[in-house]
Amino acid sequence: MNNFFKRLSLPLKLLLLILFPLALVAYLSFELYNEKSKKVDLLAGYIDRIAEAQDISDLINALQLERRQSFAFALKKDIDSRSQLEAQRPVTDLAIKNLEERKDSTLKDFKDYTFLNNLQNTRHAIDSGASADLSMQYYTTSIFRLNTLNIILPVGANRYLKPVYGDLVAQKLLSEMATYLGIIRANFKAKYGSYPAWPRGCK
């Protein structure tokens, strides 16, 4: 090997002295870029997951409002209840569409899992005079199942996500509390005909 380098011309030796450090710098730069790219992809995945959780929460809220309006219409059958129900349904449809447009594989068949594929049939039944219990049971089941799709992934040892992980978990718990509170209130309303007299802000 020494004889090989001795036979090299001086310009070639100088060129090799330049190329070796450049190759090392290029290799280290590639490794650093690759590591940073993985971190960016991880953060982007969590950001997308947070946005997805918000879309799920928006759909849950829309279904809760539609459940309330459907229940009121089933009881009253008046023009005011009908107009409020008709105004809410497009909001629910838009929330469903937003969730459908997401590319998450876990949401591939979410309409089957949450029975939202039967939403139009349920609406038709409500419009045709179905009982209030039917709408209450259908929407409550869909809302409950939707809430199970709202998952916060663990951050592991990622130091970039640990500061916000507690906030994500708290948001998830608050969402679950609001969902279950809505279910309890809806069941109370279905049985007793009015909402429980809880503190202001719980309605």
In a domain, 38, yes or no: no
In a domain, 101, yes or no: yes
Q: What is the mean pLDDT of residues 101-112?
A: 85
Higher pLDDT, 72 or 105: 72
In a domain, 173, yes or no: yes
In a domain, 42, yes or no: no
pLDDT at 41 exceeding the cut of 90? no
**Band of pLDDT at residue 5, cut at 50, 70 and 90:** low
**Band of pLDDT at residue 57, cut at 50, 70 and 90:** confident
Give me the half-sphere count of Cα atoms (radius 13 Å) on the Cβ side of residue 85.
21
CB neighbour list of residue 138: distance below 8 Å, 6 or more residues apart: 115, 118, 122
What is the overall mean pLDDT for the chain? 78
Which pLDDT score is estimated for 163? 65
Say what the pTM is: 0.67
In a domain, 40, yes or no: no
Give the C-alpha separation, 27 to 21, whole Å: 10
Per-position b or e across 106-141, b if 16+ CB within 10 A of its CB: ebeebbebbebeebeebbebbeeebebeebbbbbbe
Give the C-alpha separation, 36 to 173, whole Å: 32
Per residue in 144-167, pLDDT (tens digit) is: 898 888 776 555 555 666 666 666
In a domain, 147, yes or no: yes
In a domain, 34, yes or no: no
> Per-residue DSSP letters for 71-93?
HHHHHH--HHHHHHHHHHHHHHH
pLDDT at 197 exceeding the cut of 60? no
In a domain, 96, yes or no: yes
Q: What is the mean pLDDT of residues 161-180?
A: 69
User: Which domain covers residue 59, as residue numbers?
Assistant: 54-192
| Number of separate domains in the chain | 1
pLDDT at 200 exceeding the cut of 60? no
pLDDT at 3 exceeding the cut of 90? no
**Band of pLDDT at residue 103, cut at 50, 70 and 90:** confident
